A and B are shown apart, each in its own frame.
Chain A
Amino acid sequence: MPNQNNTVLVIGSGVGGMKAAMDLSEAGRDVVLIDQAASIGGLMTRLDRTFPTNNCDLCTIAPNLSENARDKHIEVLPLTQVSALQGQAGDFTATLTRAPRYIDMEKCTACGECHKAFPECVRFEPGLDHRAPTCMRYPQATPQAFSIDMEKCEDTAALVNACPAGAINPDDGERTEERQVGAVVLAIGAELFDPSGLENFGYGVYPDVVTGLEYERIMSASGPTGGELVRPSNGKPPQRVAWIQCVGSRGINREDVSYCSGVCCMYALKEAIVTKERFQDDIEATIFYMDMRTYGKDYELYYDRAKKTYGVRLERCRPHSIISDAASGQLTISYATDASSALTTEKFDMVVLSTGFRVTENACQLARVLGIELNEHNFARTQSFSPVATSRPGVYVCGVFESPKDIPETMMQASAAACLASKNLVPVAAGNGEAELPPERDVSGEEPRIGVFVCDCEQNIGGAVDVDALAAYAGKLPGVVLSQSAGHGCSREALEKIKAAIVEQNLNRVVIGGCSPRTHENLFQNTLREAGLNKYLVEMANIRDQDTWVHMNYPEMAMTKAKDLIRMAVAGVAQAQALKDNTLPMNKDVLVLGGGVSGMNAALELADQGHRVYLAEQAGHLGGMALAVRKTLEGDDVPSYMADLIEKVSQHALIEVITQAIVVDHFGMPGMYKTGFQIGPRMYYRQIEHGATVLATGATHNVPRAYSLGEHAAVTTQIELDSVIEDQPERVKDWGQLVMIQCVGSRVPENPNCSRICCQSAIKNALRALDLNPDMRVFILYRDMRTYGFSEDYYAEARRRGVIFVRYETDTPPEVTPDGDKVKIAFADPIIGRKLAVTADCLALSTGMAVNEEATEDLATIFHLNRSLDGSFLEEHIKLRPTDLSIPGFFVAGSAHAPKNIKECIAQAQAAASRVLSMLSKDTINLGATVARVDPEKCATCLVCVRACPYGVPFINEDRYSEIDPAKCHGCGTCAAECPAKAIELTRFEDAPIMARLEGLLERSA
């Protein structure tokens, strides 16, 4: 019986829920992961590709899905909802209601026979295909089973009979159970807006008008057209595709919401780029938009690529309507631009509506059940300095249900929620609950005694090949001492039989003829280990996915190929060696670099959960950039928050604050690092030992030489204006005109990225200045207003209160000339098409942030970390691991990663703490067994491996041969393939077993 208060309930199994569950389980916590859907994965599994890398989503997420399902700490309950939550943080009782699946998961083999009987109903294609009785959302659905909508099934008996495994149970019913949990993480996301209520766009009437998500499905290899881009109306490829942004968002009309959904600009750009990538000049892509909101890390570069490299056409306007031309079947969009107030019309073959996020009524109902407050848009209410805590203690929120956001930000919040949730649980016990295993038998020097087990997987394998005959064939292969059919090899019963056979027959190698090692290798490895064999002595012959499924109608071919595959596996496994996973002892102390908001929050969370933290700051005091900020956009008082935070950090028994500390050297491996500092005015040297490192080194206030900044007293930055408003209100009251210029020093060739925070800062200061002086005229000269998410409401308020927004282009920037103690600002107004001039008492420049080039360069060099093009630290994976850095044991938080506001910095700081907690919960660090090893005798010191390694790991050591640190090796084997002296072997994939497989395949029998 596990300790109940070690359990977290995670509601929603999209990427956010999965990430929270994985962080918690890695940290030794138990997780109940529920989802009302039949399989886990959420919205991301329906996407074709993700921005800004245009990777295939399925490949990015599939490893997470299978990892999630097999993790022993995670219990996945699909088709389940919470119907009550009693108790308080640390001691909740959750009532879970499970809807019937009508399929017995123990019996279901995901063979797809039921789908064959009901062929129209397997995939999930929102809006493009109706949903019918059986539904498996996407090919890698986990749990790998189908579900049935009994109400839509007309012939139950036929459906039951369609299943060869007898897994369909029409009498399945709803079940309710209670669970004791210490905390709850809400990751339920949101739905996408359904535009069928908007008559002007004809969605639902014209088949070639689709939503962004539907376009994803059409482009997706697992979608309804198998990835062929065709018009739904006539099945022909379109030549002109248009995107319309902000459909249902940023509006005041019926059906509209006022907030910005934050992701649609990027997904429209992505869809347009992918379309252009695939069809180049054969297709025209046009995006109709209001403001292009590419405010995330490196997103501006993506926007530039869309325009310059791919030729995506961008038209700034909000189209009025779409009308279908009956004769040509084309769609006519009418719109007005800045250049001309008359309506322009243009014809397209397909129109994509970029729809944003909406909270469902279901979610509101769940909020009532959980007793948490919602904000005015029905998203979960959080606070500026507490980004993932809901109004009910012990209940946390992450992802889109907190506010509209993209995947990386969801991942940060998910880790943050995991961090806070674990604070409500009992401390993790040492050893992390590892099961007792028998000692490993030493098989070195033994002749191979191979056992072959051939699965039939019901009809999946058995339907195409004679499993007994195949087993008999395998029994005659060299080294095989036992060969038998195994039924469902992955069932508990069969695994017990395999274990018993290993012991009884004294086997020292095993071959499983079955499905893919991608999904099941782990299971059979564990089985071997439990039977006292090294887990690397098993090999799987993939006779299902790569043989019987492919050649099911050609049994002879299938049989011949199955024999080939088994023979290759037997030959390969005979060469397999027992391998040890590389492990290291873990140092549980943490080094946090940077004493700003991010660093202090990360340090506090870690110290609160029992880790000793060294918090090193380069300056003489804690606080960082936030010390200069007075108010947040929402009006929260920053100085009092900072004072409280600094107090807590300084007083914490487990935190040692070291100021005036400069990193000078660094050694060691993940889990046992040593970092040297020069400290204080005397620069004395001190070395700190730590297991993990959080980089929260921030950015700097950008101070570009532009618009007389620093030369004229009336010209300030937004940060300075923030203080003036707070400290010298009488000055503001005297002003007649206040002008702000956006994107000063950002989105320019020297600093191509968007600083993200400046639009909200400008709106914040404009509104506060107007509070003091309502008669003042405020002008904001901008390029695109990027008030994403709920900050759009403040933008709308600023417009309502008379702030004049004038757009400028980079080729005609505003001109600033001194005018006594005032400044004159001349600019072109694109609407009236004339040049205007305003004399301002104050010109506030939105200068944003810049990378602290010196600090990041030094640290990246010392720690061997990668940097992004802009010089900030480069995360391990831009979508799924935004807080992890490329070197294990290094994490990043706050503006050292990319510009962020305070709330976002706190979220990432808590996320970094969560990643550290996961890593440090183990007593050792497992580095896997697949690493490159150098034979010093053979090494000719030719440097080929040094150049070949994608990670820069090999180096020439003092003894003049190449050395590869197993702690840093990623195990790709490129060096082994390149090495001309064959001095490098990749363990598990040595030359010998590969050659043996070739011999096995190509041996000729006379």
Chain B
Amino acid sequence: MEQFEPTIVAFCCHYCAYTAADMAGSMRLVYPPNVKIIRVPCSGKVDTLHIMKALEKGADGVLVAGCLEGDCHFKTGNVKALQRVTYLQGYLEEIGIEAERVQMVTMSAGMGGRFARITTEFTEKIRELGPNPVNAGGSRLAAS
């Protein structure tokens, strides 16, 4: 049986996490290709609806990546994002989706290594969890 390849969406804030991802690239660090980044101005912009939409459409995991605590370019956006993710995790459990599928992480723009490490670990974790239950019913096909 082929290894399960999860699809992971990473909402990355422009000022830190997205820059860290670029840094990881410029340092030629390898991380799993399963992670696809959507750039947002601030992690505080990531709506619970965006995360739920990603899960509904079949994403197996969602990362919300912002600046380090206290370093948010917009002061407290990352704090709001963390609150939202924490709230959502409780809600996911209620509807039978593992809370671990959604995670808030923080990093500074210079932390390319941290970005690569976090995405690698998260991908592994999701791989262990298996496919998003939303997908479990239908047959899963790889994106062309």
Contact = CB atoms under 8 A, between A and B. Distances in A.
A56 B109 contact: yes
Contact of B80 (A139, A518, A978): A978
Contacts of A542: 22, 37
B110 A222 contact: yes
Nearest to A460: B25
Nearest to A227: B113
Interface in A961-975: 970-974
Contact of A55 (B45, B54, B58, B71): B71
A62 B22 CA distance: 13
B25 A221 contact: no
B97 interface: no
Contacts of A517: 39
B41 A550 contact: no
Contacts of B27: 139
Q: Which of A58, A552, A970, A972 has the most CB of B within 10 A?
A: A972
A565 B46 CA distance: 19
A56 B110 contact: yes
A995 B55 CA distance: 12
A977 interface: yes
Interface string B1-41: 00000010100001110110111111111110100111111
B33 A568 contact: no
Contacts, number: 173
Contacts of A547: 25, 33
A973 B41 CA distance: 7
A18 B50 CA distance: 39
B61 to A, nearest CB: 12
A518 B19 contact: yes
A221 B110 contact: yes
B41 A972 contact: yes
A458 to B, nearest CB: 15
Contacts of B59: 998, 1001-1002
Contacts of B136: none
A953 to B, nearest CB: 11
Interface string A977-1004: 1100010001001010011011101111
A977 B54 contact: no
Nearest to A539: B39
Contacts of A59: 15-16, 19, 71, 108-110
Contacts of A970: 74
A950 B75 contact: yes
Given A977-B80, A1001-B9, A972 B45 contact: yes
Nearest to A221: B110
B141 A1006 contact: yes
B53 interface: yes
Interface residues of A, number: 63
B95 interface: no
A995 B50 contact: yes
B84 A972 contact: no
A545 interface: yes
Q: Counting chain B CB atoms within 10 Å of each CB, which of A53, A55, A1004 scores highest?
A: A1004
Nearest to B37: A546
Given A518-B18, A550-B31, A561 B36 contact: yes
Nearest to A551: B33
Contacts of B110: 56-59, 139, 220-222
A188 interface: no
A723 B72 CA distance: 49
Contacts of B37: 542, 546
A88 to B, nearest CB: 44
A47 to B, nearest CB: 11
Interface string A318-341: 000000000000000000000000
B126 interface: no
B109 A972 contact: no
B58 A1004 contact: yes
Contacts of B15: 59
Nearest to A562: B33
B32 to A, nearest CB: 8
B103 interface: no
A972 B112 contact: no
A930 interface: yes
Interface in B42-90: 42, 44-50, 53-54, 57-59, 68, 70-77, 80-81, 84
Interface string A140-157: 000000000000000000
Contact of A1003 (B25, B84, B143): B143
Interface of B: 7, 9, 14-16, 18-19, 21-31, 33, 36-42, 44-50, 53-54, 57-59, 68, 70-77, 80-81, 84, 108-113, 116, 140-141, 143-144
11 contacts: A139-B26, A518-B18, A568-B38, A974-B45, A978-B80, A998-B38, A998-B54, A999-B57, A1001-B143, A1002-B57, A1002-B59
Given A56-B108, A991-B50, 8 more contacts: A56-B68, A546-B25, A549-B25, A550-B24, A950-B72, A973-B77, A978-B80, A1001-B59
